[in-house]
Structure 1
Amino acid sequence: MSHTPHHKTNAMELERFVYFFICLSISFMVSKAESDVKCQPTEVLVKERVGYEEWQYECKRVCPSHQYVYRQKCYDNCPTYTSAKENGFIKYCVSDLENFNCPKSICQKEYPFCFDGNCIDTCPDYTIGYNNSCVLKCPLEARYMMAHSCEGICYTGRKTCFQRCPSSHPQVFRSSFLYHCLKECPYFTVTNGSRCELSCPSDSPFLFNNTCHPTCPSSVPFASLNMSAFNKIFVCSERCDVMMASYKNVCVSICPSRSPFGYHGKCVKKCGRDSPYVNTSPSWKSTIYYQQCVAECPRDKFLWMKTRQCVTNCPRNTLFFNKTCVSACPRNFPLNYTKENQGRIEHECVRRCPEKTYHFKDHCFDRCPTYLKYYLSNCTTECPTLQPYIISDNNTCARSCPMKYVYNGNICDKKCPKDKFYIENKICEKTCSDISALQQKTKKGIICLNSTSCPNDTVLFEGTNHCIEKCPKTMLIVNNICRNVTSCPSSTYTENSTRGEICTKKCSKTLYVDDHLCVKICPKTKVLVGQNCSKDCPSSKPYRYLNNTDYENAVNVCVSVCPYDYVIYQKKCIQFYECDNYVYQGHCYDVCPPPSVPNPEISESCVVDSSLSLYTGLALMCLCLLCIFGFLLGCICCYRGEVKCFRKSSQRDSEYSCNLIEEELQTG
């Protein structure tokens, strides 16, 4: 007991070592994958997913927009002891100990810029050149940045920090992070000397040619709100954008309520003759709709003439005809076809009722309303005299009620109502006309039987006039009457039926007689003789034979001769292999009878089958040895990769052993 903790500690240490070794191997493989990729000093290492658990490393000019760069690698978050910064080009991580400035003249003319300890010909895209160093942000003493390789507000290519903007790029535009030196101010800014302003004063709010105006000039009369990455400002233009309309020379996406309709690029109170209808469609602003004047409604809409608007569905109490919502159908299309479309009731004007619909007055229906009846291809309030009855299930007029229905007035019902639950001649009545007549209770109602006997599928309950479908278990059926007796009369048999236990003079053809019962199969202790179950076989058929043709209902039958391959043992037919001792002339003996014993069944001396048993035992032993040998040979073949060898040799050996046993049996 005292050594157990020591062993447990050793096991834990071993487990920790294995875990550490696996982690070390994984980290080595990951670092190996990173180290396989060598990036240029102007590039960053980007980690990208290529599979569920697979990554690849690739050199790029900048990191993805959501990541930070630190020491030429991209991270989702800045490492510990670093702080996140931004310079307009990229997000980056810096520490207090790092300094991107290099000593002057450390690099030669061919590679003049110094960055991260390397001399390079151009700075990385996310840095700016200053005093032969690549810095992340221009210093205060040289805060103006100029891009050499592109025009305007650039964030790519070669860039340089200056104490003041050079004469080639005299205009200064201040963004969130930088002072940009530009050749001219952007179109969405105001030129104010050497500065590019982002807004106009309130008394001159409209911008044109980098100058603020109180109103737009006549050559560019329309003002639209321009949104850039830096500001929102009204800019004058010759015309409004296609998706906009003008209201008092201002371009708007939604017309105001005073002039709500867009007509030829203008907001108007009323549409013109060439586009007289109004189509309402969702705008780029949620819950606000844009109303536009159109010459005709779109394909998926209808024109409502009353308001001259395009609608998705016609209003209630209106009909649609020729893609138009109308209050009444025209004369040449007079019928109102009422139909259900995706849960909504629609009304369409048609010339005649479509196929498989029903006509009623000036209406067509897919299904007749509940207050109407079906008659041929029409709906009707009352059934005609030729078909006066109404089938309750489907409201259809009929000449007479079908077989499964009863007459309840002029209705064909599946069962009679409670106040008229008696059925006489298929008609629902309050009582039977003959109270003493036989009655049968059914799901439809109580049938009045004009007969002296019950139907074949029922029996008469003793002491009543009721014909019932099944007699209770405590009673017996005698002469088609359910009686309260415990046993059948003499010379009759008890047979089970769907109506109950019945007393019969003769069992059914498919049943056997066992004493006073009719049974499907004789008990195991008895044998079948003809149609009867007997304790013993008669002398004419003295042998018992188990007939198992019906596997579930095997039965012992009496036979005069046992079937082929069977022998007789104690007056039973058993199969040859079931005899454990001696066989002689179709009989199985425990001991061979002596030749001198007179026996009419034995005409010659008994041949002792011990040799046969000996040879059979030897043959079986050889077969077992061959099987073991084949198994070992198969294992060797599998070990050597020779599976085919095992299959062939095992089959050949088994065939040989069978032939050998057969020869031994024949020669023995």
Structure 2
Amino acid sequence: MVHLNKTCMKNCTDSHNIVLDGECFQECNEHSVQSTCRCPENRPYIENRTCVFNGSDQSQELHNETCVTEIPNADQKEYIYINKTKCVEWCPDDKPFICDSGIGFTSDCVNNSNNRGNKICLTKCPANRIVYNNVCISYCPKYLYEDYSFQKQCFDTCPKGTLHSNGQICHTYYPQTRYEYTSCQSQYYCVNTCPDNTYNNGTYCVEYCSDGQFLKNNACLSNCSEHEYIQNIEYNTERKGNECVQECKTDLVLYKGVCVDYCPEELPLLLNRTCVKECPPEKDILAMRRTLINCLRKFCYVDYFFEYSMCTDICAESEYIYNGSCVNVCPDRLFALNGTCLSVCPQYAPLIQPMAVTLQRIKQIYDDLYMVVVYTETMFECVDSCSYPYGIHDFETKTCVMECPDNRPFVLEVDNTLKCVQQCPSNELLKVHNKTEIRLGEENKTIEIVYCSSYCPEDTYYFNETCLLSCPAEANHIFNGKCVICTKFTLIEGQKVYCVDECPSKFKFINDKVCVDKCPEDKGNVINGHCSKCPAETPFQLEVFFDKDKCLKSCKEDEKIADYSCTNCEDAVSVKCIYSFQCDETVMINHDGKCLKFCPGGYVFLWIGCIRGITALIVSITFVVLSLTIGIYSRVTIMEYARFVHSCFSIPAEIQLVSDQYADIFFNKQQGIDNEVFETRL
């Protein structure tokens, strides 16, 4: 229900349709009386007796709900503040904070931009303003205290229990416009705890403690407690100081209550990270240590590292006791066992095995610049059984080796132990060759080991009582697990070459005795399953200089002979035509227009060439008869000559006997020479 002129009604009339606190009012206009009219919420202001949304540029102030050019000064009262939509003399208690909207913050005091330039009454200052004497300001002229439970406040002095700190405060002007800019200036703060990288020095936060002060728990103190140590601290690259610590850094040692890089000469030894003059009896082993300080690069300056001797009762896991000191490597002719260097290995660990040790040393480059060098040394240790990579036992020297020596080159497995032997036993005569890649430090090493075995393992091939990983050049084909010289056809599978009696169906063509699935482009013809440059009807090849080779039906067409010296010429494939003088008759036979390896069927080879079988027999008999005739004739002639000499010179009987013997010898030699000539030609 609403009421109009003290009359209750269900709804307001059209002429008085403005409802305020249940009462109907007429909308203000030029004919209405201002005291009895009201404006709707969407047009709350009156300008020229009309309800408007905003006043014009000339009338931005509001007085008694009327837009005016300036706030009036009636009865000597100054209406200088705006509370809601009214000009007031002072801000009420529920809105005690005054915000000046004319300093460039477009919308931080109120959302209505028409109030820009005025002082607005607010219940709380905007987030980017600071409370100072109930005024919302941009910068604090004194000390800014940020109470996050309420708002930022400005004090002439910091509240009790807070610290003075220097900082910056920034503001953005005319945000989200083309005139937007940010301005920063120094600001003093009141803080409960000092910001990062600053320290509590009583009432102020400082970047570093003063000389003579010590840093502890982010606070500067005049001295450390009785149970604390003094340690250097670096505030920045230009400023250093001291701090109180319960324990020195791991790369520092304790000397008279101060953490230092290394022990001085007066107390040269280190005991429990404390400098001492002598080691106690319970820790009488000296261990040399090297500490790298801030050396994150390969090259370091000399003051970045130091070496010292430490008192201990046990060496590090990677060290060994030698003459009361800890060493990284046992000296020559000494063997490592259970952290100790021994001159002889005991019975329970009788074998000697090499061991690689990775070490570091500092190498001087020049002046005070040094370099960290990583290197590997080999020493020997006592073991009960050999292990990788020294898995072979040489019983004669009682050492573990990667490969056997030359005088005991073979490896024999006995009771799961690999041993070096001079000869393989009769039941394991086969020698199996095996290549193994071994990792030694940063390098890989490939070694070849020869094992004794009774059979050739898989992926090895038999040749001359050995099992090889690959066949040698003199027998480079594989046939039934053996290395052979192939007289048939070869089949290539990966890196292996096999010898086969005939090519499989998948490789039905033969190219130079190699089984292939198709012939190469330069041998596109097929003769009896063989790849050939020439077709079957003209199979002979004639090389033509500076032109393409020709294919002939017969080499005789070009007055040449056919060269059958190639590997598969017997099948009339790849046969070339050559001159007769090109046939090497020391190994080949020139017969019937062909350069042959052997005489054809029905022929035999004599010194004069290939002859049919019956003809060769007749020639041989004739040659034998002729040789005998010459031999008999030579003997008769010699005897007659001897008689003639005897009759002329009266040769004594003794000389006569010698002459007869000489004649016999000469005859035998002559006949022997003739026979040798015959045999050679035959």
TM-score category, normalised to shorter length: 0.3 to 0.5
Q: Which has the higher contact order (CA 8 A, sep 6+)?
A: 2
TM-score by length of 2: 0.34
